Amino acid sequence: MPETTPSAGAPAEHPLVRIYRTAALIHRVDERMRGMLTSGELAAAYYSPRGQEVLAATLAHSGVTSDDYLVTTYRGIHDQIAKGMPLDELIAEIFGKATGSCKGKGGPMHVTHPDSGVMVTTGIVGSGMPIAVGLATSSSIRKDGRVTVVCFGDGASNIGAFHESLNLASLWKLPVIFVCQNNLYAESTAYANGTTAEHIADRAAGYGMPGVTVNGNDPEAALDAFTEALDRARAGEGPTLVEAVTYRFMGHYFGDPGTYMDRAQYEAALAADPVPALRALLRERGLADEEQLSAMEQEIAGQVEHAIAFASDSPYPGADELRLDIYREQVPA
């Protein structure tokens, strides 16, 4: 689904190669955004998904289509890219430019792009789940075959809306997948200091739906879990809660030094960095060689630079935009 899909006529790629292609794109975009924030070329509220690239890429290649709905969070740039949102419009929105998907008025924390199924990006912890239930209810009534995927962090699982959403989704057997990207920190609070449950997925049992915990950085295990959840939803069997355990390599927000993070845990996670680990796996299994991977990464770097140039050269929204898109425009009868 992302813009880095191979050209028409190219041989079909192995699923793990497709996942790596998307993860590498996410990694490159995040790397460049952080670099531009550091240099002062960009000023924006930015929440890095570093460490969660493979998780988002795997979800995107598990059977999610461009027609399916996505609801994500302020740390959702990896989900937006993986869903296939055009890079030009995404980066222009992060830059606050008029050519962005929300004309520069949404910014990084409130990106939408309905054409690619990115319906809502919310900056309010836990608020995406009730919205996802609404989208899934619409699909259920219309019988349009769409599945809604809602991504959220472990901290959001302690919000009342989490429980209300799971309950209603299960009651009505809605086509929605709740994906908890458990990166082990809710802002600066370690998972063990905020939640007594060993696994967030265990909470699904209280609402009569399947719950599964999977290593979100293991693309093969995660692919199986996501695919099964999608198949259930499309078959009308209702929702699934998937807890994909991962790790957040950066502080909560750009500029947060993360000094509260357990150093030994951080070093262990970094040693198993999912992006280079998947790259190494592709070579080990003979799915791609160094020349192919380098060419892919060079192509990705070029696409990202093109999108950055587009955003940089685009104008900021004018003052006339201030009062637009606030209320639904009424079309005369």
Strands (E), 6-165: 69-73, 118-122, 148-153
CA distances from 123 to 47, 71, 328 (A): 11, 11, 22
284, two tokens: 């080990």
SS3 229: helix
pLDDT in tens, the chain (333 residues): 565 555 444 457 999 999 999 999 999 999 999 999 999 999 999 999 999 999 999 999 999 999 999 999 999 999 999 999 999 999 999 999 999 999 999 999 999 999 999 999 999 999 999 999 999 999 999 999 999 999 999 999 999 999 999 999 999 999 999 999 999 999 999 999 999 999 999 999 999 999 999 999 999 999 999 999 999 999 999 999 999 999 999 999 999 999 999 999 999 999 999 999 999 999 999 999 999 999 999 999 999 999 999 999 999 999 998 888 888 776 665
For residue 245, which phi and psi values (nearest 5 degrees)?
-80, 130
Beta strands 148-153 and 118-122, pairing class: unpaired
Q: Could you give the CA distance from residue 168 to residue 190 in angstroms, rounded to a whole number?
A: 29
187, two tokens: 């802002």
Write out pLDDT tens, residues 67-96: 999 999 999 999 999 999 999 999 999 999
> What CATH number matches the domain at 15-307, 3.40.1390.40, 3.30.200.20, 3.40.50.970, 1.10.357.10?
3.40.50.970
The secondary structure of residue 14, as a DSSP letter, is P
Report the helix count and the strand count for the chain, using DSSP H and E.
10, 8
Return the axis-axis angle of helices 15-39 and 290-313, rounded to nearest 10°: 40
The alpha carbon of 284 is separated from its chain's Cα centroid by a whole number of angstroms, namely 28
Q: Could you give the CA distance from residue 252 to residue 266 in angstroms, rounded to a whole number?
A: 14
Q: What is the DSSP string of 129-149?
A: HHHHHHHHHHHHHHT----EE
The answer to whether the CB of 95 falls within 8 A of the CB of 106 is no
Residue with tokens 């979800």: 59
Write out pLDDT tens, residues 130-145: 999 999 999 999 999 9
111, two tokens: 């990106």
